[in-house]
Amino acid sequence: MSPFPANLLSMDDLDTEGIGEVLAVADSFVEVGRRANPKVPALRGRTVATLFFEDSTRTRMSFETAAKRMSADVLSFAAGSSSLKKGESLRDTIETIEAIGIDAVIIRHASSGVPARVAGWVEHCSVINAGDGWHQHPTQALLDLYTVRQALGGGDAGLTRFEGLSVLIVGDIRHSRVARSQVTGYAALGAEVTLVAPATLLPPSLEGWPIAGVSHRLDDVLEKADVVSLLRVQSERGSGAFVPTLREYTAGFGLTARRAALLQPGAVILHPGPMVRGVEIASDVAELPASLITEQVSNGVAVRMAVLFLLLGQGPIEGAHRG
Amino acid sequence: MAERRAHSTGATRSVLLRGGTVVDHTGSREADVLIVGDRVSEVGTVDSPPAGTLVLDVGGCVVGPGLVDLHTHLRQPGREEAETVETGARAASLGGFTAVVAMPNTEPTLDSAEAVRTVFDLAADVTAEVAVAGAITVGRAGERLAPMAELAGLGVRLFTDDGSGVQSAGLMRRALEYATGLGVTLAQHCEDATLAADGAMHEGAWSSRLGIPGMPAVAEEVMVARDLALVRATGARMHFLHLSTAGSVELVRRAKAEGLAVTAEAAPHHFTLTDACAAGYDPVFKVNPPLRPVSDVEAVKAGLADGTIDAIATDHAPHAPETKDLPFDQAPPGMLGLQTALSLAVTELDLPIGRILALMSWQPASICGLDADHGGNQGGPVVPGSVANLCVVDPAATWVVDATALASRSRNSPYAGRKLTGRVRHTVFRGEPVVIDGEAQR
């Protein structure tokens, strides 16, 4: 097995085995999460820092919870996007934080590529991408894969069932770091990914993307889907520049109750959140048993524990072991 | 250094370039070149130069007219931390240039007589001739015409809002009409702002994968097409800055075949680098127009080879290091170019040195009005009596670019570590050897 990478910047950093390893280790941490005291000493003495240059309460809380459940010390660098405008360069900020003595930085930034640049600047610590611009959000894709694998029966058997699975990624793919990570992750496990969006919300080029196809009509592809992964449509995209109105978007691409009824038995619905009910997903649909949105959130902590453990952990730990 | 300095303090300085091949627009010949004072004195076999002559052996080298850069950002006034007229001129000299055209996107903009005079004053004693391109519109805001006649009266021959294109077709039409009465040339940075939007690199496979907002090729091409239509309608002359796409090159090729009075330039990075360079998110590869795919690079090379593109212009754009440590989409676009342009042309273009000098010396000199036909003394020919603006190139020498060793105040060369063939050995500006053996003399 190839060694786990030093950083997690993109889903491209993980091969199929690496993804399997994260999911297997996450199984152990899901079990830890069910305990009365859901805490293990796996990262005791380690320090991780969350650097969120873009607001995100959910992802930040998920990462910080993951680190604390493994007994790591957590530094939380509160950086509004304005902090750089106050004069300190990003590079100085990073070098200052590294000088404090940390083992991993978890970075969210509105600009694509920042985690990759930071990985080139730091000398001693691992870099985890918690979402950069439109580029990548690898832990989101991993927790999606974990959640789907769970729905497919879990474990190695669940993993093998990705082969040939029909996955729809629906919505604003052009501006979505989640979509870029999902496509790589699903394809690595053998799933057939179809991108579903109006042409204006697709990337300008799909050259080299490991996808089975593209559809501009959700109704055409919905009935054969095994996984429907929805993306948030930001309201400014529906103000006339990308789609005429959000209403028109919903009419064509929203997962309404009518459309949800067309899904085959066993098909599941995912959404990375935050969802805009009534736009990309009807409120009732979000509450269906097929909807795994709550599972995604709870699995997120275990998957992030697994990523931290594989990047920083050493040797077996109580209740968790490397796959 | 002290000894060489002594040559400039004597009664009359003389320099002999011995044993080289003289190349200018009239052709090529083996000849020594004797320079006395600021003029070429003899071209031929010079056996007995005056006592005290600095003799430079240039065997194996090409002695040509000094290079002329149509597109230099000197950053002064306003951005002296990135470059000054003095440091930019030194970088120019080291790159073989004896003249540069300073772009007007300074702070303040070069849109007034006062601002233009400021640059001329700063350039009074530097190591290259500094011409000024004036802004077409006040503040480069694209709203109303700058006082072009007043600036033309100061010697400004080229006008551009470079950094952005004039977005209004109506205003551009008026500018072209006004220019025809002044005998000046308008130069356009072709970029439709609504299509380029917030793009930070070429829109295509790489931008889509990297999640970087893209600028499509059509953002450039629609303005090239629009301006060609305006040139056709007004009869004005026009120069296209830094063409970067196959579509733009083809539009200009057809326009020339039609007989329109247009010229065009291309920057070295557009025939040497591709959009794949952005893969590591290093803003040293961010430039505007952006680096394009291989097919566009090949089209630019073809345009240079077949005469569609008249000049290689550096778009030398210094930026202080801290600005290039910003995220890719926030960092300013631009790269250094003066000291690597000639070597890149020799290394990457399959053209004889005479064609490269045409693209970098006499053709750009003509476009910006610094040649003999317009009363200037750039671009040759190398004949007795002409002002000695010369560069000496060793076409076979190889060297490795060290960004920290460049004369510019900034370090943003995308070619750091790249091995190049062809090197400027000496540069003579108005008779003064400002570069000797690759070393700036002041």
pLDDT (mean) for B24-51: 97
Place of tokens 């931290």: A308
pLDDT (mean) for A58-85: 84
Q: Fill in the amino acid letter for A93.
A: T
The predicted pLDDT at position A86 comes to: 60
- Assess whether B165 and B232 both reside in one domain: yes
* Residue B394: both structure tokens together: 């060793």
- Assess whether B49 and B198 both reside in one domain: no
Least confident range from A126-130, A240-244, B104-108: namely A240-244
Residues 6+ apart with CB under 8 A from A239: none
Determine the residue of chain A that is closest to B205 in CA distance. A205
The predicted pLDDT at position A202 comes to: 97
CATH number of A138-296: 3.40.50.1370
Determine the residue of chain B that is closest to A241 in CA distance. B194
- Assess whether B312 and B428 both reside in one domain: no
Q: How far apart are CA B177 and CA B233, in angstroms?
A: 10
pLDDT confidence bin for B10, thresholds 50/70/90: low
Residue A323 has pLDDT above 80, yes or no: no
Residues 6+ apart with CB under 8 A from B363: B263, B310, B311, B379
Place of tokens 């979402």: A131
Task: Give B-chain residues touching A206 at CB under 8 angstroms.
Answer: 208
Q: Which 8-state DSSP code applies to residue A11?
A: G
How many structural domains compose chain B?
A: 2
Nearest to A111 among B282, B325, B328 (CB): B328
Nearest to A111 among B209, B282, B329 (CB): B329
Q: A109 — phi, psi (to 5°)?
A: -150, 145
Q: What are the pLDDT digits (tens) for B157-186?
A: 999 999 999 999 999 999 999 999 999 999
Residue B5 has pLDDT above 90, yes or no: no
- Assess whether B296 and B309 both reside in one domain: yes
- Enter the pTM of the model: 0.95
Radius of gyration, CA atoms only, chain A: 19
- Kindly state whether A133 is in contact with chain B, defined as any CB-CB distance less than 8 angstroms: yes
Q: How far apart are CA A91 and CA B4, in angstroms?
A: 44
Mean pLDDT over each residue of chain A, to the nearest integer: 92
- Assess whether B397 and B431 both reside in one domain: yes
- Assess whether B94 and B229 both reside in one domain: yes
Do the two domains A11-136+297-312 and A138-296 of this chain adopt the same fold? yes
Specify whether domain A11-136+297-312 bears CATH 3.40.800.10: no
- Assess whether B73 and B44 both reside in one domain: no
ipTM, two decimals, is: 0.94
> What residue spans define the domains of chain A?
11-136+297-312, 138-296
Mean pLDDT over each residue of chain B, to the nearest integer: 96
Q: What are the pLDDT digits (tens) for A114-161?
A: 999 999 999 989 999 999 999 999 999 999 999 999 999 999 999 999
- Assess whether B15 and B54 both reside in one domain: yes
- Return the C-alpha torsion angle A86, A91, A95, A98, nearest 10: 100
Q: Fill in the amino acid letter for B409.
A: R
- Assess whether B267 and B119 both reside in one domain: yes
- Assess whether B306 and B195 both reside in one domain: yes
Closest listed residue to residue B292, CA positions, set B265, B326, B267: B267
| Whether residue B57 lies in the annotated active site | no
Which of B317, B339, B374 is the C-terminal boundary of a domain?
B374
Place of tokens 């989101």: A140
Question: How many angstroms separate the CA of residue A205 from the nearest CA in chain B?
Answer: 5
- Assess whether B268 and B409 both reside in one domain: no
* Residue A295: both structure tokens together: 């599972």
Residue B243 has pLDDT above 80, yes or no: yes
Q: What are the pLDDT digits (tens) for A180-200?
A: 999 999 999 999 999 999 999
The residue annotated as part of the active site, out of B24, B192, B315, B394, is B315
Higher pLDDT, B99 or A58: B99
Give the domain range for residue B15: 2-63+383-440
Which of B335, B356, B374 is the C-terminal boundary of a domain?
B374
Q: What are the pLDDT digits (tens) for A206-225?
A: 999 999 999 999 999 999 99
Q: How far apart are CA B113 and CA B121, in angstroms?
A: 12
Residue B303 belongs to a domain with what CATH number? Answer: 3.20.20.140
Which of B374, B404, B428 is the C-terminal boundary of a domain?
B374
Determine the residue of chain B that is closest to A201 in CA distance. B208
- Assess whether B52 and B133 both reside in one domain: no
* Residue A276: both structure tokens together: 């805009």
